[in-house]
Amino acid sequence: MASHQELKRFRANLADELHSAALYETLTKVEKDDTRKAVFAELATSEREHAKVWAAKLKANGAQVSSGRLSIKTRIMRGAIHLFGVSFVLPTLAAAEYADRDKYFGQPDAGQMSADEHHHANVVQAMAQGDDAKKMSKGAQIASAESWHKGVSSGNDLRAAVLGANDGLVSNFCLIMGVAGAGTGNKAILLTAFAGLVAGACSMALGEWLSVTNARELATTQIAKEADELEHSPESEEHELSLIYRSKGLDADEAKRVASQMMRDKDKALDTLTREELGLDPAELGGNPWSAAGVSFCLFSLGAIFPAMPFLWAQGTSSVVQSVVASTIGLAAIGVFTSLFNGRSAMFSAVRQVGIGLVAAAFTFGVGHLLGVSLS
């Protein structure tokens, strides 16, 4: 008979496989491209086969097997796929697969499943990166995959949306609680909340605009410098192209031949050097700064509205309590969404998010109260 710890591992593995299978099945239904649809269907079938293995192990040990009811995390991801589409959610799924590719390492009873998970991670990573992934070196692919863990700048729209809304909610919640703690009236609190919303949203938007604009300007400068080197030092650039193709597995003679042929078309040579040497996509260059600023403004504002709404219809202590309740609900929802990225359970992430948010708000309320008393 398996030990309690082993049964716990079997259940965790089963839950993970059912979660992945459900997501891939949803992607299969939503995806319009037949080739990608077939890939998602194959991944879903593989995950279902893995799930059967762990379910069989549980049954063999007389343990209860999950009924297959979807978790909150799975329901949210499936809803996001239907609502926003495949491309919006795929980077999050790719990051999760990349992080979990070694989850069966050290589990001798996992068999072929460990190799399968590595294969799944590579497939989803390539699909998330698009066709350009085929042209990237292995090092560039790894760097790109690692960048998905860094937040907004990774191009992971779902994560960026959650973090943007979280910034607005927490900052305005704490600001409102600080002013409420000082004993000010509803009009002053609403004015403060509105000012905090506008100021914070503008700051976020400006910061995002500057970040994307600076990235684009830097990329443009680097590409221009590469073009100048290509024009004035073609031998050196041809040598670099040759090294790039050698790193992809070509022998020295073949790499030189391909590089020489590539140099006949300076535009293609520049495009290749830009992608391979600089790690830049000439078609994107970091995205549109105006759309990035607009999205940041809206997301911050969405989160900042939660703690302010109760002061529109309630007064005194009731308005403060309702603000805390509304903010708690918002924090819990954000915590559930963050569980999509951090590998924790939805309940743990929600409780942690609420706890940290309430502690911060209680601290600012106390500071506001002390200042209000001392200044009155």
24-28, 122-126, 145-149, 214-218, range with greatest mean pLDDT = 24-28
The predicted-structure confidence for 281-293, as pLDDT tens digits, reads as follows: 666 665 678 887 8
The predicted-structure confidence for 297-307, as pLDDT tens digits, reads as follows: 998 999 999 89
Residues belonging to the chain: 376
Q: What's the pLDDT score for residue 363?
A: 94
Tokens standing for residue 32: 């319009």
Q: What's the pLDDT score for residue 327?
A: 93
Q: What's the pLDDT score for residue 143?
A: 38
Mean per-residue pLDDT for 178-195? 88
134 to each of 8, 99, 169, 281, how far by Cα in Å?
Answer: 39, 21, 40, 13
Q: Name the band, by pLDDT with cuts 50, 70 and 90, for residue 262.
A: confident
pLDDT at 376 over 80: no
pLDDT at 148 over 70: no
CA distance 315 to 318: 6
Mean per-residue pLDDT for 43-69? 84
180-184, 216-220, 326-330, range with greatest mean pLDDT = 326-330
Q: What's the pLDDT score for residue 141?
A: 42
CA distance 287 to 214: 11
Q: What's the pLDDT score for residue 325?
A: 93
3-state SS, residue 61: coil
CA distance 308 to 171: 12
Q: Name the band, by pLDDT with cuts 50, 70 and 90, for residue 113.
A: confident
Q: With beta carbons less than 8 A apart as the criterion, state whether 168 and 302 touch.
A: yes
The H or E element spanning position 147 is helix 138-147
Q: What's the pLDDT score for residue 109?
A: 79
Domain definitions of the chain by residue range: 4-148, 162-211+287-375, 217-276
Q: What's the pLDDT score for residue 131?
A: 42
| Listed range (45-49, 54-58, 217-221, 291-295) with the worst mean pLDDT | 217-221
Q: What's the pLDDT score for residue 149?
A: 33
Q: What's the pLDDT score for residue 343?
A: 66
Q: What's the pLDDT score for residue 329?
A: 93
| Listed range (23-32, 41-50, 185-194, 343-352) with the worst mean pLDDT | 343-352
Q: Name the band, by pLDDT with cuts 50, 70 and 90, for residue 234.
A: confident
pLDDT at 199 over 60: yes
Mean per-residue pLDDT for 27-40? 88
Q: Name the band, by pLDDT with cuts 50, 70 and 90, for residue 374.
A: low
Q: With beta carbons less than 8 A apart as the criterion, state whether 182 and 319 touch.
A: no
CA distance 272 to 256: 15
Domain 4-148 sits in CATH at 1.20.1260
Tokens standing for residue 116: 């399968």
Q: What's the pLDDT score for residue 368?
A: 87
Q: What's the pLDDT score for residue 324?
A: 93
